Amino acid sequence: MALFILGGVVVAVFFEVAHLAGATNALGNFDTTTGGEVEMFGAQALEGAGRNAMCRHEVRLPIRFVPATHTPCVRSLNEVNSVASRTPRSGAHRIAVIGGDGIGPEVIAEALKVVRAAGVELDTTFFDLGGARYLRDGEVLSDETLETLRGFDAILLGAVGTPGVPPGVIERGLLLKLRFSLDLYINQRPFAGTAPGHSKPHDFIVIRENTEGPYVGEGGVLRKGTAHEVATQGSVNSRHGVERCIRYAFELASKRERKHVTLVHKTNVLTFAGDLWQRTFDAVAAEYPKIATAYNHVDAACIYFVQDPHRYDVVVTDNLFGDILTDLGGAVSGGIGLASSANLNPARTGPSLFEPVHGSAPDIAGKGVANPVAAILSAALMLDHLGESKAADAIRAACAKPTSGSTIAVGDEICRRLHG
């Protein structure tokens, strides 16, 4: 019953997950309301998500840089804010900034600096959220803060996850709560680069469904800690959720040169969810006769991402496959330190959220060696969404050439390129 010990905020996480878990019974999986020792729904989900996030921290090497000598390597977000929050002009975009944990605040500080150097006015409000805040006073993301965030034009987030916080508390309670509550149903992750062993650059975009699949926390555990323990973790796929995601992928492809969409799933094993995805994909594809299509099983896609990434233009896939594939996408496109993402609410019923694909990398936090380019490119995606595509293109062009040095030195170099 660790959740009770952890206090009100975690109990709130439990309630959210328990609410979603109601779907379990409706779908006829297993009924946790009867008999047995019903351990909390969501406890397993918390553990799983966090462990995953920790693993991510261990593979952060590609985002290291050799720090420049002498100059301070890390500028605090507060310092940047005090420089940056001059009285905004009325046309300034209102941005909620969540630096988060580990290297998050460092890389976000550089992203804000670069956006301003590109001539875009931002009216920033900083939100102290993440693992450190949770350890201090138990706040993960209150409903009140969530309501405040709804009023912004966009949210820029660094990274979340802190050792010492029970796995998943921050991931589920902050990041996933934002994705679900703000209906950020598209996670768009562009990959442009030259994969190891290749000479020709690739350029593709993964569209990851962002509000369903195994991430909803459907499942439960019975007889925990006994030899007869049973744990389930379901994947929720709605026709509505799948169709709007696939439709987004086709719309995106129709604006791109190659006009090609690949569905990635595991239809040979996940025959219920896979069938829904495949039929929905086929139905939407029929409406876009000018767009060519393909299908790959996710295991095969892992090979192609490495051996033949040029075959892809737009890839559409479910939440968990998309999570895994996009780390691989980063690895074959210059490293995870360059991988950007947009969590989009295409209906624009609220703000969208922009964040680097990488994690909080606590092992290198505060050392000034984190690569800010993923955060800077995520800010460029934010500018696209805010109608500032010219500035976004300029930032992408400035990031195209390799950079080196400390976190701040890289940010400064990109600013110089923008001005030159």
Looking at the annotation, which residues are catalytic?
Answer: 215, 266, 299, 323, 327
DSSP assignment of 211-228, as one string?
SSBGGG--EEEESTTSTT
Q: Which partner in ligand IPM, Mn ion, none is near 84 (CB below 5 to 8 A by kind)?
A: none
CB of 243 to ligand IPM, least distance (A): 21
Could you tell me the CA-to-CA distances from 350 to 158, 232, 238, 277, 345 in Å, in that order? 20, 33, 22, 27, 7
Site for ligand IPM in 297-336 (CB under 6 A): 323
Residue, CB closest to ligand IPM: 171
The helix (run of H) or strand (run of E) holding residue 125 is strand 122-126
Q: Is 121 helix (H, G, I), strand (E, B) or coil?
A: coil
Q: What's the chain's length in residues?
A: 420
* Residues that contact ligand IPM, how many (by CB under 6 A): 8
Assess 212 for contact with ligand IPM (CB under 6 A): no
Among all chains, which residue has been given the structure tokens 């460029």?
380
CB of 85 to Mn ion, least distance (A): 31
Residues 17, 53, 74, 109: which binds ligand IPM (CB under 6 A)? 53
Where does this chain bind Mn ion (CB under 5 A)? Answer: 323
The token pair at 325 is 């594939």
Site for ligand IPM in 343-372 (CB under 6 A): 357
- With 0-12 / 13-18 / 19 or more C-beta atoms within 10 angstroms meaning exposed / middle / buried, residue 272 is exposed
Among candidate residues 166, 187, 165, the one with its CA nearest the CA of residue 176: 187
Q: Which residues on neighbouring strands pair with residue 95, listed in sequence order?
A: 124, 154
Of 53 and 195, the one with the shorter C-beta distance to ligand IPM is 53
Assess 171 for contact with ligand IPM (CB under 6 A): yes
Assess 178 for contact with ligand IPM (CB under 6 A): no
Residue pair 375/359 in contact by the 8 Å Cβ criterion:
no
Assess 206 for contact with ligand IPM (CB under 6 A): no
Q: How far is CA 273 from the centre of its chain?
A: 22
Residues 6, 20, 43, 49: which binds ligand IPM (CB under 6 A)? 49
Assess 101 for contact with ligand IPM (CB under 6 A): no
Of 159 and 418, the one with the shorter C-beta distance to Mn ion is 159
Residue pair 32/220 in contact by the 8 Å Cβ criterion:
yes
Residues 175, 206, 236, 284: which binds ligand IPM (CB under 6 A)? 175
* CA–CA distance, 361 with 375 (Å, rounded to integer): 14
Q: Which partner in ligand IPM, Mn ion, none is near 175 (CB below 5 to 8 A by kind)?
A: ligand IPM
CB of 165 to Mn ion, least distance (A): 17
Q: In the complex, which residues of this chain contact ligand IPM (CB under 6 A)?
A: 49, 53, 56, 161, 171, 175, 323, 357
